[in-house]
Amino acid sequence: MAFYEVDVVNGFAGFEAIESEWSELLSDCEANHPFNTHHWFATWWRNFGKSSRVSVLVARSRGRLVCCLPLLIAEKNVHPFKARHLSLWVNTHSFRSGILCHKDHFACLDEVLNRLVSDPAWDIFDLGYFPAHHELLRAWKRTMEKAGIRYLTKPGMKSPRLVIRTTWKEYFTSLSKSRRESVSRKLRKAKKQGCRVEILRGRTGDLDTRLEQCWEISRKTWKHRIGSSIAADETRLAFYRDIALAEVDWIVLGLIYVNDKPVAFEYDLLYQGVLYNLKLGFDEATRELSPGYVLRVALLEWAFDNGIEVFDFMGLEADYKNQFSTGVVEHENLTVYNQGALSASLYYYQASLDLYRTRIKPSFQRIRGWLQSVSLLR
């Protein structure tokens, strides 16, 4: 039986000091993706986290790092209460939850959770979205149930992805006839209007120029109008620039030009055979050319031709993703409640809301529908 030592690494300097251990641990985790790398978290902190109280809860077995939880705490209004909210180092620009746990050391979660709930400094811990099929999620639940720790889960996003096992030609042929015709029609129209596709992998000599073109396009998208584009604020822009220009060399950029004018972009990261689509956008003035769609098809073909194993569309389901995907990854959101009266109140309040939304309200709607149908029959 393994014995675990749990400790807290405080501040960003402490986090930097465990970089090599972190990277070694990540290679033995289920969730080995770019959003759990030390580099991603370091870049995130430099752009978004400097004003936050950050720490990393770590577990070791015989001196070896086996679990990491990068934590930050802030006060938040959780209607109708004000609570101390513990979360991972995440925000709207974090695409997966940031928990690292060695696949052979889920037993350390006993000690990790004991350490967490013995700390009265927080009320709610939002762990974000876990892939529902991950053993780590099941291990968290088992450990909390055994310890009598209150928690709630709710269904999260269903994220489409394309597993690549054939050639592009074979894959394209497998699509429905109507889908193939739609793709071909849009490609012909784009070509007729002078559309040119450019795909860059890695830190090429003119990457800075291409990034500026992406930001320029971003300012002409519908997302920019509502304030959610990459270029909507300088901090956000700096974060995506830092990720693209980093020595890790993950970046894959796709651009479409019409008469040498950039009109659409896709910002992807390539990590261990998986191409992750983080951001995309197109100039609204060119909507009739379907430039985003044409670029997506070009990048999919590029992925097939360059040995990519999986194209991860990221985010929520949408028709423009599902029509090319081979399935979805379902996620669950996990929220843990600490000991104490406020945490208990928050738990029972949220559990009551969930019960109403998922059970009581649908039952009333079914009864009302039945009564209406009976009334109509009369």
Distance between alpha carbon 133 and the CA centroid of its chain, in Å?
Answer: 16
Which domains can be identified in the chain, with CATH numbers? 5-156+331-363 (3.40.630.30), 165-308 (3.40.630.30)
- Give the model's pLDDT for residue 374: 66
Q: Parallel, antiparallel, or unpaired: how do β-strands 310-312 and 150-163 relate?
A: antiparallel
Helix, strand, coil shares of the chain, percent, nearest 5, are: 45, 30, 25
Length reported for the chain: 378
On whether the CB atoms of residues 61 and 108 are closer than 8 A, the answer is yes
Instruction: Find tokens 């220009």 and name the residue.
Output: 245
- Give the model's pLDDT for residue 366: 79
Q: What's the alpha-carbon Rg for the chain, to the nearest Å?
A: 24
- Give the model's pLDDT for residue 370: 73
| pLDDT string in tens for the chain (378-residue length) | 568 999 999 988 999 999 999 999 999 999 999 999 999 999 999 999 887 888 999 999 999 999 999 999 988 887 778 899 999 998 888 878 778 999 999 999 999 999 999 999 999 999 988 899 999 999 999 999 999 999 999 998 999 999 999 999 999 999 999 999 999 999 999 999 999 999 999 988 789 999 999 999 999 999 999 998 999 999 999 999 999 999 899 999 999 999 999 999 999 999 999 999 999 999 999 999 999 999 999 999 999 999 999 999 999 999 999 999 999 999 999 999 999 999 999 999 888 988 878 777 777 777 777 777 766 555
- Give the model's pLDDT for residue 279: 95
DSSP string, 171-194: HHHHS-HHHHHHHHHHHHHHHHTT
- Give the model's pLDDT for residue 373: 73
On whether the CB atoms of residues 344 and 167 are closer than 8 A, the answer is no
Distance CA(236)–CA(93), nearest Å, equals 8
In this structure, the number of other CB atoms found within 10 A of the CB of residue 110 comes to 17
- Alpha-carbon dihedral sign for residues 65, 67, 70, 74: negative
Distance CA(82)–CA(127), nearest Å, equals 19
Distance CA(43)–CA(238), nearest Å, equals 10
On whether the CB atoms of residues 308 and 270 are closer than 8 A, the answer is yes
pTM of the model: 0.90
CA distances from 230 to 158, 202, 281, 320, 343 (A): 23, 20, 9, 20, 36
Closest of 15, 18, 35, 7 to residue 108, by C-alpha: 7
